Amino acid sequence: MGGALIGIGKRSAELNRAAVKLATKVGLIDYGEDANCEPLDMLKHLTSDYLKKKLGT
């Protein structure tokens, strides 16, 4: 789910705004106590400097 939202949010400025709004509501996606990786921060990916430059926002 998180990866799909990030992919959608990278397609256009309009979709990015909608994805950021949803990612803010969802928050971090935690994989559980047994996981060896950090929680997925969709907002970090959707608001990166690279993506802002790419989308012109």
pLDDT tens profile 23-56: 999 988 887 777 778 888 999 999 999 999 999 9
pLDDT value for 6 = 95
Residue type, 8: I
Say if CB 21 and CB 5 are below 8 A apart: no
Q: Could you give the number of structural domains in the chain?
A: 1
16 pLDDT tier (thresholds 50, 70, 90): very high
Cβ–Cβ under 8 Å, residues 19 and 6: yes
Domain containing residue 16: 2-55
